Structure 1
């Protein structure tokens, strides 16, 4: 979407090219980033240009991350996805030259700034942290996958509304917990994300590479993909008076069909442009297959198809109720166009774009299924959610040192705030952290 009145934001010196695309997708976001990033067709980290071509298949985290970021600036992603100092030492042999032009991103990662200070303390803390909660995360994830198939089967076998609803909730939670795994090296758990008709490869781009690095900015694909149905940017040029209130009416519809839109968009883009479909896009079909064959012929194909689609719609609705009201949208949270904090540290920017769910912290299950511990997850996305609670002491210590605050509220307050943000058109003139 072209913003004629756009002025230089606090995130980048260029308006993102992908927002001018007729169809906004993860692939068009990548194309735009390659056009904008001054990475000279290779990989850019800070002011250095690197050629990782020979390293693609050697990358311990999987070839996907390196292959899909070619031609872009990966500075923030590199820092956030590597807690060890080893990668920083290793990449030197792949450097080919200094970049010809300055970075377009204005956020900083100074050695003694907030994020790098916190990162060093987290590295030290993890040496003595109990790792057993990771096994609990794995158990919860597996249990939810099995529950999804079980309730789906029961809903078809007995034409049960209760089993259908429980199956939809289990599917929603399965998808959310799978998100715990796709920031890391390739693993089998991440593919369970696809059961909801979305795709882990597409979401590694839209969520891990875009939203996690540039939340609530024009570079955040998860902000753009819902427009014009839902628009959280406080800009009157892209959010008319009518659209602001109509979004409250269209919101439930958008929630219920979000999963289907994801699949439909990717199929349409593959047919009209470049194929972005994978073998694992067939995984959602495993649910109606289990319904049909597991019911031993007592349920017809038509019933299984109906139950599966209804279950997916319930999951889609629940996913959006949880996900879009999890942390990022409230009038008090930084959005594109609002006044910027004087300290442009990337980690402080993450804190400014999030209000945590304080009502989840007592339960690892709720944290996993409701995008909890959101600030720490944004700062250290490759860590299992089960390890994050142990990091709060060093987080609070570092926040106090840099005069920043971790904000919290409950889910109802987030839902109210998210709807207020849909109506907001005036940028906040008060920078985060201002006295």
Structure 2
């Protein structure tokens, strides 16, 4: 890709370098961000440069978050992942100098702005919130995880299509619920995300550090990784309207092989460039192994492998049907190229890029397995999904104060809207909130 005049970002003063890469991956995104962010090889928060080298192994959330963000601007991530003022005071001793150049990102986090106002209120509310729903989230996750292995074993033992489908759905839900955990400090539940051939380390970058911070923008790696099969940016320079109709045809195939593509891309990049594989990339193999052991060795090895690949494909398809129609793609949702809201508050930007699933709120199980409570999760990703319902009154109050609103629809409406967005080629000229 060659940078042209039309390549401008609505949230930054430059076009992200990684989108010029011949192969868009987590590693190319990180490499490009380190070139773009004016962090001077260290860590940037607002207009300060910090050296967290000695803090990497002391970080309460685990060393990964600090190690993998070196050389980048982590302002928004720092604010979203720390709800109290204690971290802000603690990092003062690690500041080495003021940044030489202005931030490239144009989103704001003013003390009296929407996000920081909401964050202060949420911090106070959390002191009195019932924490027992966190335990329920843990039980739901464990129950689905156990079901995945039991259905997988049954599918091999009885060569059952029904058990195979149930195993695929359970695997999909396991992966989705595990997403509730990898945003936080290191824990055992985050490893179960890897059962779907993906890797939580990769997703901590592509999802937590990229998509969550810069949704629906050129800096959103999850937006870029689906191109050209699926392209939601309303720009004819990227994909013609005729080709977008082809997306409707290629979409089911892309869904069914998405998990395999993720693993294949990481293996290819590791062989050709820099290794980005981990020991826990082997965890998916525990599924066919469980089939073999669980059937007492009576099921042929090839049958176990076939059932495993089939259930993974089912899980991949279901994951994409749920995930890509969960919140972010509809003609009414902000995408790169659309007119920006006048108030550039980062929290309001999150609100503008999401329409919530209003049909899930009555069930913690459905919220966990279908990416529910999406706006609150984007604003406060380290909180267990079970705690989010208690924060809605504060969210509504703050939205009213800043003349914004929470938009909702059901899954069918999201699916229709997502397909309309695939066809949209003209940017919205009406700013959100107008």
RMSD, aligned CA: 0.7
Measured in 1, the distance between the counterparts of 2:5 and 2:258 equals 30
Q: Which residue of 2 aligns with 1:155?
A: 155
Measured in 2, the distance between the counterparts of 1:84 and 1:22 equals 41
Determine helix, strand or coil for the equivalent of 1:181. Answer: helix
Q: Which residue of 1 aligns with 2:388?
A: 388
Q: Which residue of 2 aligns with 1:306?
A: 306
Q: Which residue of 2 aligns with 1:425?
A: 425
Aligned 8 A contact 2:168 2:311 in 1: yes
1:107 matched to 2:110: no
Q: Which residue of 1 aligns with 2:175?
A: 175
State TM-score, norm by structure 2: 0.99
Change (3 A) 1:311 1:107: same
After superposition, give the CA deviation of every residue in 1:367-417 in whole Å (9 maximum; x if it has no partner).
000000000000000000000000000000000000000000000000000
Q: Which residue of 1 aligns with 2:134?
A: 134
After superposition, give the CA deviation of every residue in 1:143-201 in whole Å (9 maximum; x if it has no partner).
11100000000000000000000000000000000000000000000000000000000
Measured in 2, the distance between the counterparts of 1:52 and 1:314 equals 42
Measured in 2, the distance between the counterparts of 1:47 and 1:7 equals 26
Aligned 8 A contact 2:157 2:295 in 1: yes
Shift in Å, 1:293: 1.2
Determine helix, strand or coil for the equivalent of 1:330. Answer: coil
Determine helix, strand or coil for the equivalent of 2:205. Answer: helix
Aligned 8 A contact 1:2 1:19 in 2: no
After superposition, give the CA deviation of every residue in 1:224-269 in whole Å (9 maximum; x if it has no partner).
0000000000000011133110000000000000000000000000
Change (3 A) 1:427 1:3: farther
Aligned 8 A contact 1:6 1:15 in 2: no
> More displaced, 327-336 or 240-249?
240-249
1:374 matched to 2:374: yes
- What are the within-5 Å matches in structure 2 for residues 184-333 of structure 1? 184-333=184-333
Shift in Å, 1:13: 0.5
Q: Which residue of 2 aligns with 1:62?
A: 62
Shift in Å, 1:8: 3.3
Aligned 8 A contact 2:241 2:424 in 1: no
Measured in 2, the distance between the counterparts of 1:2 and 1:365 equals 46
Determine helix, strand or coil for the equivalent of 1:229. Answer: coil
Unaligned runs of 5+ in 1: none
Measured in 2, the distance between the counterparts of 1:278 and 1:123 equals 35
Aligned 8 A contact 1:3 1:237 in 2: no
Shift in Å, 1:298: 1.9
Measured in 1, the distance between the counterparts of 2:76 and 2:184 equals 16
Measured in 2, the distance between the counterparts of 1:83 and 1:241 equals 43
Count of paired positions = 434
Aligned 8 A contact 1:350 1:379 in 2: yes
Aligned 8 A contact 1:3 1:238 in 2: no
After superposition, give the CA deviation of every residue in 1:305-349 in whole Å (9 maximum; x if it has no partner).
000000000000000000000000000000000000000000000
Measured in 1, the distance between the counterparts of 2:4 and 2:406 equals 35
4+ residue segments displaced more than 6 Å: none
After superposition, give the CA deviation of every residue in 1:186-222 in whole Å (9 maximum; x if it has no partner).
0000000000000000000000000000000000000
Q: Which residue of 1 aligns with 2:363?
A: 363
Measured in 2, the distance between the counterparts of 1:198 and 1:10 equals 30
- What are the within-5 Å matches in structure 2 for residues 42-57 of structure 1? 42-57=42-57
Determine helix, strand or coil for the equivalent of 2:177. Answer: helix
Determine helix, strand or coil for the equivalent of 1:194. Answer: helix
Shift in Å, 1:3: 5.1
Aligned 8 A contact 1:256 1:316 in 2: yes
1:97 matched to 2:92: no
Measured in 2, the distance between the counterparts of 1:107 and 1:376 equals 18
